[in-house]
Chain A
Amino acid sequence: MNPAFDLLIDSGGRLVLVDEKGNRHENVRPARMFPLTDPEGWISLQGPSGEEVGFIENSKTLTRVQQAALSDAFAKRDFVPVVRSIDRISRAADGHLWHVTTDRGPTIFRIETDESIQQLGANRLVIVDDHNTRYLIPDIDKLDVESRRRLERYY
């Protein structure tokens, strides 16, 4: 990559991009172009008003420090809990309540229709709850038997 390019965190904890031409963009917001199918590649860097100021084709080509800056910026905004197990699914007035254990601890969420469960690739599922929070099941086969059985009834 061009030597002028850099990604860093400023004193206010915000991401700063120095682009190929050496221009400095403060408070940039990283956004994944393919958050579900290719989270490591194709990252768009947007300015405060949403315009794209640069992009990264593959985050693995960045230096360790830059990668850390990037993942730090992502950590501040990402919230896609990974479902570890499905403990119970109960019928609610309008839809179903899912009691799950995620990588961020146990939670309960509500989904309204079967379409809220979307398949991405062979074994990957994304569940969108009624607040639009997304829960990821990266590999159905890696769930325990009980969870899989519960899931099967709805998906």
Chain B
Amino acid sequence: MRFLAWSLAEIDEMELEEMGATASIHLIQGGIQTHAWRIMTGRVREADVFLGRFKDQHRIARSDLKLDPEALRPEGEDEEVVEGESEVKGFMAGPMVRLFVFAKTWHRLMVLGFLLTLASTATSLIAPWLTMALVDNVLIPLQSATEEVHVNQVYKFMAQLAGAGVLTWLLNWARTFVVARLAERVTSRMRRETFEHLQRLSLTYFNRKRTGDLISRIGSDTDHISLFLSVNFIEFVCDVLQCVFLAVILFWINPLLAVAAMGPAPLVGWLVSKVRGHLRGGFAAASRAWSAMNSVLSDTIPGVRVVKAFAQEQREIERFRATDKHIFDTNDRVNRMWSFFTPMIELLTDVGLLVVWAAGAWSVAHHHITVGVLTGFVLYIQKLYGRVESMSKFVAAAQRASASAHRVFEILDVKPDMPVNQGMRKVGRLSGEIDFKGVKFRHGSRQVIKGIDLKIAPGEMIGLVGPSGAGKTTLVNLACRFFDVSEGSIWVDGMDLRELDVEDYRKNLGLVLQEPYLFYGTIAENIAYGKPKATKAEIIAVARAARAHDFIMRTVDGYDSMVGERGQQLSGGERQRISIARALLIDPAILILDEATSSVDTETEREIQAALDYLVKGRTTIAIAHRLGTLRRANRLIVMEDGRIVETGTHDQLLNQSGTYARLHEAMMEVTSQ
């Protein structure tokens, strides 16, 4: 290592420059940088301390005192509100049957799986058969030494037993593989279709649903189904097959013994049917409880800032504890039933076995059957009881899967209330004339829009103002066709909005909302959200126009910086400018700004306003704003109150009318002058 030394007088300045992943200290002498040292960001704090000490010394040495102003950094806000819950009751045709309709695409795989199951079940029954012969032809003669037993025969039996074992193993292996493959395909298709279906549903649906509930239906419910298909169901088929085979074999060996052994069977059947209904209810409740917990999580985690700000951690803990307790309780209920049921089945099968031993001993004593036959019989009957027991477990698995399948199909059964294919008229680029004709709209039973007539010329900018709750957002939502009007109609370029292909229409639409949403991904990806094929040049151009380029270049990775959930934190104004760039990139004919600048400070608002001024040029624009100043470029101002248009005109005209607008303006002036 080399040490360098300067006297303080030789040094003009030393400064720290942060450059993303690294930082460097520059030494400046005689106006130019003579030395630079690079440091890792982890050491910046130490470097800062060092430079602080240096500066103190330097100041003392030069005896001039200066104050550096502290930079203040505004912080971004984000909160997400999750709407209340409600259940949609869909039509239900045996969820289990529908599950298999889903598997139809892979019928070849299904047949293969079935054949393998059949084969592996059959081979697993060879061993007891061989045992029977082994006992009668080898073991008993060996013991009683009445006949000569050739040692080769023992080897032959051993080899056959081993062969049967290996064959069973191979077939089981193939079966498990094929079936798991099938199950994975079915559930993956189910997840995909459910999500695709969700994407087609209207905003109204999402407003009614809890995020956590939807997540748990697509996530954990489909997982239950997968497990059921790949493990439980196939085991059940094996069990049924084995039972049939076994019953045939048993009756064939000895009908009397077989009848004795089957004694407890009706009792088992009755128990199963009894328990089924209870279990199903229990599992459905458990899945619902699980959803409730997911809902709490998807509510609390995104809203964590609010939770902390209001110091409500304890309350959220209580809320979570309550939902968790609910899961716990419902599972407990299921388990209680379960814990009684399984041992009960075991007891019944033990009783059956006892009967077989008794009847068998009697038969052997009276020379009706040989010891070998009895041995084989007991082996078979034990297998049979084993199957019955595992079949009873299937009851629970089937009920759980059925409850889950029902919850998934519930989503699939929701008819898109916004019939996407109703309007099939293809449109290209629109000129952007919008005409509201006697538009009324109700949210549920509540009339929110009470008759709006408004014609907007292509390229015109309309400023929509009015007290909060007047229905402004609802009106633009109608123009976006997120909802359909209840009465009246909306015409775009002389065509009824309902006739148009929704996707085509929305390609003409640019939307900037109060709370911009950034997806997890890079800044470039977020800007190009509406036009994924955009070139880098286009992305940069719109970012510049939206006044976003400079702050993007200040982030560590520029346009490649990760944003959105868990990504780099951007301030509200920065996110808003990215969403403006996003709207700008698709070059929309119709632009809708819903309080685009309401959530930012006036300084940022000025920046955004500049970006917006560029954005509105040559487009039909509907701008909603509370700060009336942001509407200065509007051709017309429309004042809404309680679902109706109450005033129309320019800023000056409206002020002179001394109506609602004048009142809003006055209120605003009061606020700003304070």
Contact = CB atoms under 8 A, between A and B. Distances in A.
Given A33-B559, A36-B560, A46 B41 contact: no
A24 to B, nearest CB: 16
Nearest to B536: A42
A2 B315 CA distance: 66
B553 A79 contact: no
Given A34-B559, A52-B550, A118-B562, A76 B36 contact: yes
A28 to B, nearest CB: 13
B45 to A, nearest CB: 10
B560 A77 contact: no
Contacts of B42: 130-131, 133
B566 interface: yes
A31 B553 contact: yes
Contact of A131 (B33, B40, B522, B554): B40
B15 to A, nearest CB: 11
A14 B549 CA distance: 24
A52 B557 CA distance: 16
B658 interface: no
Nearest to A29: B19
Chain B interface residue number, banded? 20 to 34
A79 B559 contact: no
A132 B32 contact: no
Select the residue from B19, B556, B557 with max chain A CB neighbours within 10 A. B557
A41 B41 contact: no
B537 interface: yes
B558 A34 contact: yes
B308 to A, nearest CB: 20
A33 B536 CA distance: 10
Contacts of A14: 33
Nearest to B565: A115
B540 A42 contact: yes
A132 B21 contact: yes
Contacts of A32: 558
A118 B562 CA distance: 9
Nearest to A114: B566
Nearest to A132: B41
B40 A133 contact: yes
A31 B18 CA distance: 13
A12 B32 contact: yes
A132 B42 CA distance: 8
B21 A133 contact: yes
Interface string B326-357: 00000000000000000000000000000000
A36 B41 contact: no
B541 to A, nearest CB: 12
Contacts of A36: 557, 560
Contacts of A12: 32-34
Contact of A80 (B21, B537, B558, B559): B21
B305 interface: no
Contacts of A120: 522, 560
A134 interface: yes
B21 A134 contact: yes
Contacts of A35: 557-558, 560
Contacts of A80: 21
A85 interface: no
A79 B40 contact: yes
A77 B24 contact: yes
Given A79-B22, A132-B41, A13 B33 contact: yes
A83 to B, nearest CB: 14
A80 B20 CA distance: 10
A41 B41 CA distance: 26
Interface string B533-557: 0001100100000000110111011
Interface string B6-38: 000000000000011110100000001110101
A72 interface: no
B524 interface: yes
Contacts of B21: 79-80, 132-134
B40 A34 contact: no
Interface in B163-189: none
B223 to A, nearest CB: 20
B32 A11 contact: yes
Nearest to B562: A118
A51 interface: yes
Given A36-B557, A38-B536, A133-B41, A77 B22 contact: yes
A144 interface: no
Interface string A1-40: 0000000000111100000000000000001111111100
Nearest to A113: B566
Interface string A117-148: 01010000000001111100000000000000
A80 B177 CA distance: 44
Nearest to B566: A115
Nearest to B549: A52
Nearest to B43: A131
A68 to B, nearest CB: 19
B31 to A, nearest CB: 9
B537 A57 contact: yes
A50 B19 CA distance: 11
Select the residue from B21, B537, B554, B562 with max chain A CB neighbours within 10 A. B21
A118 B34 CA distance: 38
A41 B34 CA distance: 30
Contacts of A41: 536
6 A-B pairs closest in CB distance: A131-B42, A12-B32, A79-B22, A36-B560, A77-B19, A33-B558
Given A31-B558, A33-B553, 14 more contacts: A33-B536, A33-B540, A34-B524, A34-B560, A35-B560, A37-B560, A50-B554, A52-B549, A76-B38, A79-B21, A115-B566, A131-B41, A132-B21, A134-B556
Interface of B: 19-22, 24, 32-34, 36, 38, 40-42, 522, 524, 536-537, 540, 549-550, 552-554, 556-560, 562, 566
22 contacts: A12-B33, A31-B553, A33-B552, A34-B536, A34-B559, A34-B560, A35-B557, A42-B536, A42-B540, A42-B559, A44-B553, A50-B554, A76-B38, A78-B22, A79-B20, A79-B40, A120-B522, A131-B40, A132-B20, A132-B41, A133-B22, A134-B21
